[in-house]
A and B are shown apart, each in its own frame.
Chain A
Amino acid sequence: MSKKTKLTASIGDQTLRLLTLLMAISVLVLMFWMGWQMFQSAGPSIDKFGFGFITGRVWDPVKEQFGALPFIYGTLMTSLLALLIATPIGLGVAIFLNEMAVTKVRMVVAFLVEMLAAIPSVVYGLWGIFILAPWLRETIQPALAKWFGFLPLFQGTPLGFGMLAGGLILAIMILPTIAAISGEVMAAVPNEQREAALALGATKWEMIRIAVLPYAKSGILGGIMLGLGRALGETMAVTMLIGNRPDILPSLFAPAYSMAAVIANEFTEATYDLYLSALVEIGLILFGITLILNVFARLLVWSVARGPKGGIS
């Protein structure tokens, strides 16, 4: 573009450019401002415990002892568990709906899956308390203990409430996200790609494996990462099911605690400044972990999407 045409660009376009730029900047400003404010409020706790806050395993408001590790552990473990369960199922749902099901079935099931995403998390929590937890306690956990009891993961008293219940409810909650986004990116795969595979003598599964999934992989990863984001921050349902005990135990049956849950539970009872500031610091850490995981996820999507040399991504 020459200088002249630039100068004569319409006032409207320039205004639009400025306005959208301002909006884009406002998001950044908001993020940094939030981070800064939390950092300030967490000041007393950061001054007192330093790095030990992150590695500390004791959370005792009565003795003014605050360590965040149990909560970090609980959040990461439940989210990981949720991803491990929801990713294969979500992908399976998406593959079935896009590549196998006839249109009528696809429409009904896709609608139901989307409905899952619309259910408020407190309802999930209630369902978890009255149905999931008792079922885990009476059926699933004894069975797991019987068959896989040699693993530390499946040892201890079957309580129902605990890490497993928290992870499972998260899995159910992020399943629609993963299924819907994977489904959409699979639907966006050009039909020529499918036909290219079929014409080479691919079976349906081989077609999905060589033509559909590779084409959609960066979008699928994006969906999984969105699911992870939701799992990390989910508060209500997890609080209702995780058992709320700040311990680091290897067993999935044991009660645990998550960062979001401790903030929600204890914020109103934080009776002195240090307590409050410790809770804010947990919020700051959650903020940081979410940020880091998202950056990491971006990098992962890039490196996966790049493919062989000279390609377009």
Chain B
Amino acid sequence: MGHSLSVRNLEAWYGSNKTLKGINMEIAPNQVTAIIGPSGCGKSTFVRCINRMHETLPGTKVKGEILLDEESIYDRDPVALRKMVGMVFQKANPFPSMSIYENVVAGLRLNGMKNKQTLHASAEKSLRMAALWDEVKDRLNYSGMSLSGGQQQRLCIARALAVEPSVLLMDEPASALDPIATTHIEELIRQLKENYTILIVTHNMQQAARIADSTAFFLNGELVEHGPTSEIFTNPNDKRTEDYITGRFG
């Protein structure tokens, strides 16, 4: 089941550049929350803070608090945290030296899972959830690189799902894909929210409108507005949100 997230006064830096200037946000469990905003508004940094990936880059700094189910993520071991908070990246990044199957079970193997039947069952389950099973079931031992771009991205989603996280972060997962592949991924996200809390960064407002239950608008490192998607898109409170969604900037 998905977990709730509660972000309090989150600030983040890249070197001397402050990319997040005090974010406060509540993220409901088992919902799709879209993060929208122009390039450089801090939306990627924001999701990367949630699985503590931001800190892995040199010269970065984080302040503030993020609670995952009432417990601070900074009290958890980042390695353990990332098993609870999965991530899918903008660019599909399957491990090129591994087969499709090995890619999916890579995270389980990291957890020390050795039982072949369990691994296989989990690989099938994850690939089915990622709507990729039918396309790859006959060539699981082929390289992950033999798949198309959209299939590779679904493979990466399956890989993230196999670890059974409770939160799934997606950093523009469909931005490098064609419309058909994008439709697949969006369909998938709608189904996944039954079991996961999903945070998706997107620069595509139509996409946010199609899939998100709630939408947050970021601008210059600040959270301008967060509310139900329908409200954000039809009746925003803030002038800047309105300007952005009507295409006046960004």
B185 → chain A closest CB, angstroms: 17
Residues of B within 8 A of A214 (CB): 95-98
Cβ of B53 and Cβ of A195 under 8 Å apart? yes
Establish whether residues A203 and B139, one from each chain, have CB atoms under 8 Å apart when the complex forms: no
List the B side residues contacting A200 at CB < 8 Å: 82-83, 86, 106-107, 110, 159-160, 163
Interface residues in B126-154 by Cβ distance below 8 A to A read 139, 141-146
Within the complex, which residue of A192, A199, A203, A217 is in contact with B91, where a contact is CB–CB below 8 Å? A192
Q: Please report the C-alpha to C-alpha distance between residue A140 and residue B155 in the assembled complex, in whole angstroms.
A: 53
Instruction: Evaluate contact between A210 and B99: CB separation under 8 angstroms.
Output: no
Contacts of B143 in A (CB 8 A): 307-312
Docked pose: A192 CA to B90 CA in angstroms: 9
Complex Cα spacing A137 to B82, Å: 53
Contacts of B97 in A (CB 8 A): 214-215, 217, 307-308, 311
Within 8 A of B (CB), among A183-203: 190, 192-193, 195-203
Contact A309 to B163, CB < 8 A, known contacts A199-B87, A210-B110: no
Given A200-B82, A201-B82, A201-B110; A195-B93 close (CB under 8 Å)? yes
Name the A residues within 8 Å of B102 (CB-CB).
308
- Check A103 for interface membership: any CB of B closer than 8 A: yes
Query: Which residues of the other chain, A, contact B141 by a CB distance below 8 angstroms?
Result: 308-309
User: Given A192-B91, A201-B83, is A310 in contact with B110 using a C-beta cutoff of 8 Å?
Assistant: no
Which residues from chain B contact A312 at a C-beta distance below 8 Å? 96, 143, 145
Chain B residues with CB below 8 A from A199, complex form: 51, 53, 82, 86-87, 89, 160
A102 interface contact, C-beta 8 A: yes
Using Cβ atoms and an 8 Å threshold, which residues of chain A touch B160?
A: 199-200
A311 to B94, CA, bound (A): 11
| Distance, CA A209 to CA B156, complexed state (A) | 19
The reply on B72 being an interface residue by CB < 8 A is no
Enumerate chain A residues within 8 angstroms of B80, measured Cβ to Cβ: 201
Residue of A201, A307, A309 with highest tally of chain B CB at under 10 A: A201
Chain A residues within an 8 Å CB radius of B159: 196, 200
Are A201 and B163 in contact, CB atoms less than 8 angstroms apart? yes
Specify which chain B residues have a CB less than 8 angstroms from the CB of A311 in the assembled complex. 96-97, 142-146
Which chain B residues lie closer than 8 Å to A309 at the CB level?
99, 139, 141-143, 146
Query: Is the CB–CB distance between A308 and B98 below 8 Å?
Result: yes
Q: B146 contacts A193, CB within 8 Å?
A: no
The smallest beta-carbon distance between A78 and chain B, in angstroms, is 33
B247 on the A face (CB < 8 A) = no
Docked CA distance A309–B96 (Å): 11
Interface residues in A152-193 (C-beta closer than 8 Å to B): 190, 192-193
Contact of A198 with B58 in the complex, beta carbons under 8 Å: no
A206 at the interface (CB under 8 A from B): yes
Residues of B within 8 A of A102 (CB): 58
Task: Give Cα A195 to B87, complex, Å.
Answer: 9
> In the complex, what residues of B have CB within 8 A of residue A217's CB?
97
Cβ contact within 8 Å between B79 and A201: yes
Q: Is residue A211 within 8 Å, beta carbon to beta carbon, of the partner chain?
A: yes
Give chain B residues whose Cβ lies under 8 Å from the Cβ of A103. 58
Q: Is the CB of A203 within 8 A of B53?
A: no
A206-B107 Cα distance, complex, nearest whole Å? 10
Task: Flag whether B56 is at the interface (Cβ < 8 A).
Answer: yes
Decide: A193 and B95 in contact? CB cutoff 8 A.
yes
Q: How far is the CB of A186 from chain B (nearest CB, A)?
A: 14
Inside 8 A of B95's CB, which chain A residues have their CB? 193, 196-197, 210-211, 214-215
Q: Give the distance to chain B from A39, nearest Cβ to Cβ, in Å.
A: 42
A310 touches B79 (CB 8 A): no
CB distance from B182 to the nearest CB of A (A): 20
Measured between beta carbons, the chain B residues less than 8 angstroms from A206 are 110
The 10 closest A-B pairs by CB, nearest first: A310-B146, A311-B143, A214-B97, A201-B83, A200-B107, A199-B87, A308-B99, A192-B93, A310-B142, A308-B143
- Chain B positions within 8 Å of A, measured between CB atoms, are 51, 53, 56, 58, 79-80, 82-83, 86-87, 89, 91, 93-99, 102, 106-107, 110-111, 139, 141-146, 156, 159-160, 163
A interface residue numbers (CB < 8 A to B): 102-103, 190, 192-193, 195-203, 206, 210-211, 214-215, 217, 307-312
Chosen A-B contacts, 5 in total, with CB atoms closer than 8 Å, are A195-B89, A196-B93, A197-B106, A200-B86, A309-B142
Q: 18 extra interchain contacts, Cβ-Cβ under 8 A, other than A214-B95, A310-B143?
A: A193-B93, A195-B89, A196-B94, A196-B156, A197-B95, A198-B82, A199-B160, A200-B82, A200-B83, A200-B159, A217-B97, A307-B96, A308-B98, A308-B99, A308-B102, A309-B143, A310-B139, A312-B96
